Amino acid sequence: MPPAAAAAFLSPAVAVSSRALPLRRARHLAVRAVASPPASKAKPAPPPSKTGKWEWKFEDKPINIYYEEHEQGTSENVKNILMIPTISDVSTVEEWRVVAKDIVGRKGELGYRATIVDWPGLGYSDRPSLNYNADVMESFLVQLMNSPNSPVANADDELVIVGGGHAATIAVRAAGKGLIRPSAVAAVAPTWAGPLPIVFGRGSDMETRYGLLRGTLRAPAIGWMMYNVLVSNEKSIQSQYKSHVYANPENVTPDIIESRYELTKRKGARYVPAAFLTGLLDPVQSREEFVQLFAKLDGDVPVLIVSTLNAPKRSKAEMEALKGAKGVTKFVEVPGALLPQEEYPLAVAEELYSFLQESFAAR
């Protein structure tokens, strides 16, 4: 959502980011900075090995969840990876495709199978008018990992979770509660605070205004009108990508903008963005709480943090807060801003593959 328009609804002089403003200390700390190339060199990913819909039931309502699988089947020993997209206005499995194909295509004693799943209300999944919040998204992830008929049901408690932005933080929170048992977690450009709360705070007066904005966006007629002005137009999406989603504006192609614009036109597209913008999808309320999420995994789950060289100032500060944090096994930097897995997928894939090999190959 463009900053000026959303901010004007609340206060006259603040600009807000639309993709969330992210994440603090490591038992084994490894920091490696990678020079940011001028343009993305990755080729488009080949089509997935398989696509499908999984039926998630929430409050007795069936919701079709889109997923796709990437594998090559050249190794006897295969590790399963669940990739979940960054939560945003234009979240989609597409952001992980090149990374998935790169990792599963590598040859070695240990092979990999990647399953990418769209969140409910986003991407190519159904978008019903639920009261979306962090608990709803957490519940979805828990059922996805624990249901006997889900696309990742045969992972045998050896599933690696790779997520971007809020998605990574929601997964860490669920793991810390013992609701899911990943064998490792990789958090790429992790975030914890929605665009408006990180700027305006969470005072009672602001919460009232967030509720008004959220209710307006969800309304049948005026909601679509406001959503079209704030989110669902190509100029707005291009502005977001060039200003803070990508590090290099030259990497923002017409094809990317067209693809993301089409996502905003899907039925029910405005419900999750209304919750995300106003902080309902925030898994924690402060940096201190955020850091504690990772501390709960210390000694139990290997955790990789992938920070970025050119993240927006507030997002960068939160990512840096995790450098050396308890529970963080490895901390690295790659080129990019808030969506490095899409803008610089090969750099992200290299770091993920290295982490996976270090964590599991010796076994």
Instruction: Look up the CATH number of the domain holding residue 160.
Output: 3.40.50.1820
| Residue 2 pLDDT exceeds 80 | no
State the pLDDT confidence band at 47, using cuts at 50, 70 and 90.
confident
Instruction: Judge whether 126 lies within some domain.
Output: yes
User: What's the mean pLDDT in 14-25?
Assistant: 37
Instruction: Judge whether 1 lies within some domain.
Output: no
Q: Residue 330: what pLDDT?
A: 98
| Residue 39 pLDDT exceeds 80 | no
Instruction: Judge whether 159 lies within some domain.
Output: yes
Q: Give Cα 11 to chain centroid, integer Å.
A: 28
State the pLDDT confidence band at 156, using cuts at 50, 70 and 90.
low
Domain assignment of residue 344, given as a range? 60-362
The per-residue pLDDT for range 170-227, each reduced to its tens digit, is: 999 999 999 999 999 999 999 999 888 877 888 888 899 999 999 999 999 999 999 9
User: What's the mean pLDDT in 12-38?
Assistant: 41
| Residue 31 pLDDT exceeds 70 | no
Q: Residue 158: what pLDDT?
A: 85
State the pLDDT confidence band at 46, using cuts at 50, 70 and 90.
low
The packing angle between helices 165-176 and 287-295, to 10°, is 60
Instruction: Judge whether 213 lies within some domain.
Output: yes
User: What's the mean pLDDT in 18-32?
Assistant: 41
Q: Residue 6: what pLDDT?
A: 58
Q: Residue 197: what pLDDT?
A: 85
Q: What CA–CA distance (Å, rounded) separates 69 from 67? A: 7
Q: Residue 18: what pLDDT?
A: 38
Angle at 126 between CA 125 and CA 132, to 5 degrees: 100
Q: Residue 204: what pLDDT?
A: 86
Q: What are phi and psi of 188, to 5 degrees?
A: -105, 120
User: What's the mean pLDDT in 311-321?
Assistant: 93
Percent of all residues in the chain with a pLDDT value above 90, rounded to a whole number = 76
Instruction: Judge whether 338 lies within some domain.
Output: yes
Q: Residue 160: what pLDDT?
A: 98
Hey, which of 98-112, 206-220, 341-355 has the most confident mean pLDDT? 341-355
Instruction: Judge whether 167 lies within some domain.
Output: yes
Ramachandran bin of 161, using left for φ above 0, alpha for ψ from -120 to 50, beta for the remaining angles: beta
Structure tokens at 298: 């210390």
Percent of all residues in the chain with a pLDDT value above 70, rounded to a whole number = 86
Instruction: Judge whether 15 lies within some domain.
Output: no
Q: Residue 25: what pLDDT?
A: 35
Average pLDDT over the chain, rounded to an integer? 88
Region of poorest pLDDT, from 104-108, 128-132, 142-146, 332-336: 104-108
Instruction: Judge whether 251 lies within some domain.
Output: yes
Q: What CA–CA distance (Å, rounded) separates 229 from 326? A: 43
The DSSP annotation for 288-341 comes to HHHHHHHHTTTTTS-EEEEEETT--HHHHHHHHTTTB-TT--EEEEES-SS-HH
| Residue 133 pLDDT exceeds 50 | yes
List, in sequence order, every residue forming a beta bridge with 303; answer none if it has no partner.
185
Query: HSE on the CB side for 97, CA within 13 Å?
Result: 18
Q: For residue 127, which of 9, 212, 22, 227 has the smallest C-alpha distance?
A: 227
Total number of domains constituting the chain: 1
